[in-house]
Chains A and B, each alone.
Chain A
Amino acid sequence: MSSIATQEAHDSTNGSGLPESEEEKIYVASHRQLMWWRFRKHKVAVGSTAVVLLLYLVALACEFLAPYDQSAYDAKYIYAPPQRVRFFSADGFHLRPFVYALEGERDPETLVMLYEEDRQTIYPIHFFVRGSPYSFWGLFDTDLHLFGIREEEGTMFLLGSDRNGRDLLTRILYGTRISMSIGLVGVILSLVLGVLIGGVSGYYGGPIDDVIQRIIEFLRSIPSIPLWLTLSAALPSDWSALRIYLGITVILSFIGWTGLARVVRGRFLALREEEFIMAARFAGVSEIRIILRHMVPSFLSHIIASLTLAIPNMILSETALSFLGLGLRPPIVSWGVLLKEAQNVQAVALAPWLFLPGVFVVIAVLAFNFVGDGLRDAADPYAN
């Protein structure tokens, strides 16, 4: 839809022209303002930005948002199906939503757990309930959760439970923290490498540029997944969870920086020849000031756009590595670690909700892609 709007707006400027005041507004608008106007036109990108922000909010406050603790389990509820949030019971409408109690029974022949709703017992869902204690970012200790049920014996598995009877919703929310941050940390690492090496390559040019470009081409010619697999297999198995996490981000950014270095280099090369850089040079501005004051601001937006487009690849790679058992390992919870549970088709046939972490992966990847698309368009507000 947004592209139609863009097209129409574009046509109208070509035709009779904008009203005088509107046109003036465009002439005097700052670069940042033009970019914002441009970005706003891409409706899907704006919506996706909200989704990305929401996901990071979840990542920040997952302990509070999740109804349970990430490792809390209940052996009585293995592969319990998602419980529906209801407003209507046999007695009519309830203003406060509730879930029915779950009755589990093991099938004597197949030994599969079968669940049935107990329509007699209802557990109302309350906001701000006391539950498992946690330390919020080490700042303060609390046991407040956004929502949950008050009854100790009841369960609320809104997205079902896994093979240990752990609440999937809780684990997905905790996984959001790891999966969303691993992309961010990895991208920042590749950014530092990419800007440094790409900048050197583009600014000095000549033989240095040649050597760096050959190295980049070389790194890109190694098939990434076998390389990642080999590198992750080399991580010692006795490392702590945190070190493994850092190790994986380093491995992911090891390849990621080459793409960014190319973008930075291309921008440097293009800008070196621009008139305004030339003018600055003739005016006797120092090299470092030219780079920081004149060059960096004009390609910063491009860098941000490519960064945003690089994050989903990192998320996908982490998911794939963890899925294969070479990335993050339990007790760390990430979307990939959760999806590993779905590796067994028999288990999935029994509990299709094990796919749900994958839905989050798809949402995150798509949202980042759309935001990146919008940013890329906005980075060059003068193009039609």
Chain B
Amino acid sequence: MLKFILRRLLITIPMLFGISIVTFVLIQLPPGDFLTSYIAELESTGHVLDDAEIASLRNRYGLDSPLYAQFLKWFWNMIQGDFGVSFQWNKPVNELIWERLALTFIISLATLIFTWVVALPIGVYSATHQYAVSDYVITFFGFLGRGIPDFMLALILMWIGLIYLGTSAGGLFSLEYKQAPWSFAKVWDLLKHLWVPIIVLGTSNTAGLIRIMRNNLLDELHKPYVETARSKGLTEQRILWKYPVRIALNPFVSTVGWVLPTLISGATIVSVVLSLPTTGPLLLSALLSQDMYLAGSFVMILSTLTILGTLVSDILLAWIDPRIRME
């Protein structure tokens, strides 16, 4: 087991290096370099940089050196925790992103838990009541959940909130807590606002997982070992939860790997609609204003989270199903 974890960890390192290269290329893709636009922007607001300042900025990002050297410098700074400066905000990227990343992570994790808590019992119910009316209803809503784009669901919820509750369902905090330091009251306020993004983000994944759970369990329910357990006189409930459900659970674990990245990805769009103080809106505005250091840091960190998510799911899977370790 330890060997397996070590091997997986070792693969992660070149992966992260590769992603940093891709991210760097993406940062460089838009025409013109960011410093030129930064200086132009400053000049348009009346702030003229003198030559020494420009030179020091160019030096800071190594803009005069060849591309590979620029990359290495960026990469080296990043390892040391320096993500550069956001031109748009005129602040170090570090100051801008961590709280947003933490909130993104909280939302994603809460959505993941919500997805499981909802999908598992419904999937089991749907499988044990195959072809019943309730099964069809669940299937119908499952397909509907997969077909509605996340951001539209968010819009609809906000619209309903505006029409019937008279309040905007967007945001993560009430006005009075927005700037307030963290306290129990603020956490409570966060929890009160969290359900909208969780439902919006969780719906399509929940629908998918219900489907997977149902199909897996249906495969298992007709296997001979279930019959054996039944002939031994175990109650139906006990048979169900002790054997087939446990086996059908495997995909739940293996999906952690792709659920986390899709959640983080999906949160990007949904949080723009719901104006959540997470990574999404900041990433979008950074991209639109070509604030490439900020955007690059986000892509880099989100990718890292994705890889870590896959790593966790691989390890969990190997822990549950020993056959995987042997490969």
Kindly state whether residue B293 has any CB partner on chain A within 8 Å.
Answer: no
Q: Which residue of B lies closest to A227 (CB)?
A: B299
CA gap between A142 and B31 in the complex, in Å: 43
* Chain B contacts for A227, CB-based, 8 A: 26, 299
Q: Do A4 and B131 touch across chains, with their CB atoms under 8 A apart?
A: yes
Shortest distance from the beta carbon of B233 to any chain A beta carbon, whole Å: 28
Question: Which residues from A are CB-within-8-Å of B149?
Answer: 316, 319-320, 323, 358, 361-362
Contact between chains at A323 and B151 (CB < 8 Å): yes
CA distance A352 to B162 in the complex (A): 12
Interface string of A200-231 (1 = CB under 8 A from B): 00000000000000000010011111110111
> Per a CB cutoff under 8 Å, which of A223, A312, A323 touches B302?
A223
How far does the Cβ of B303 sit from chain A's closest Cβ, in whole Å? 5
Q: From DSSP, what is the main secondary structure of chain B's interface residues?
A: helix
Tell me whether A226 and B298 are in contact (CB under 8 A): yes
B144 surroundings in chain A (CB, below 8 A): 362, 366
**Cβ of A369: which chain B residues have Cβ within 8 Å of it?**
143, 146-147
| Interface membership of A365, Cβ < 8 A | yes
Contact A218 B15, beta carbon cutoff 8 Å: yes
B259 at the interface (CB under 8 A from A): no
Determine the chain B residues whose CB is within 8 A of the CB of A339 once the complex forms: 151-152
Give a binary string over A308-334; 1 marks a CB under 8 Å from any B CB, 0 the rest: 000010001001100111100000000
Chain B residue, CB-CB nearest to A370: B143
Contact A224 B265 (CB under 8 A): yes
Tell whether A226 pairs with B302 under 8 Å between CB atoms, given A4-B131, A221-B307.
Answer: yes
- Give Cα A233 to B294, complex, Å: 14
Q: Taking the complex as formed, is A285 at the interface, i.e. its CB lies under 8 A from any CB of chain B?
A: no
B159 and A345 contacting across the interface, CB-CB below 8 Å: yes
Write out the residue numbers on chain A whose beta carbons fall within 8 Å of the beta carbon of B15: 218, 221
Taking residues whose C-beta sits less than 8 angstroms from the other chain, chain A's interface range is 35 or more
Q: A319: nearest residue on chain B (CB-CB)?
A: B149
User: Do A345 and B155 touch (CB < 8 A)?
Assistant: yes
Q: Which residues of B contact A362 (CB under 8 A)?
A: 144, 147-149, 152
CB nearest to B298 among chain A residues: A226
Stretch at the interface among B43-51, B193-201, B242-250, B284-292: B284-292
Question: B264 on the interface (CB 8 Å rule)?
Answer: yes
Which of B19, B156, B269 sits near A323, CB closer than 8 Å? B269
A132–B163 Cα distance when bound, in Å, is: 38
B136 and chain A: residue at smallest CB distance: A1
| A231 to chain B: closest residue by CB | B26
CB pair B287 A221 closer than 8 Å: no
Contact call B162/A358, Cβ cutoff below 8 A: no
Q: How far is the CA of A234 from the CA of B19 in the complex (A)?
A: 18
Cα–Cα, bound, A355→B302 (Å): 31
**A222-B19, A222-B306 known; A345+B299 contact, CB < 8 A:** no
Chain B residues with CB under 8 Å of A218's CB are 15, 18-19
7 new A-B contacts at CB < 8 Å, known A233-B288, A326-B284, A349-B163 = A3-B131, A226-B302, A229-B268, A236-B31, A355-B159, A369-B143, A369-B146
9 CB < 8 A contacts A-B: A3-B131, A4-B131, A7-B131, A221-B310, A234-B29, A324-B284, A355-B152, A358-B149, A366-B143
Chain B interface (Cβ within 8 Å of chain A)?
15, 18-19, 22, 26, 29-31, 131, 143-144, 146-152, 155-156, 158-159, 162-163, 168, 170, 261, 264-266, 268-269, 272-273, 283-284, 287-288, 290, 295, 298-299, 302-303, 305-307, 310
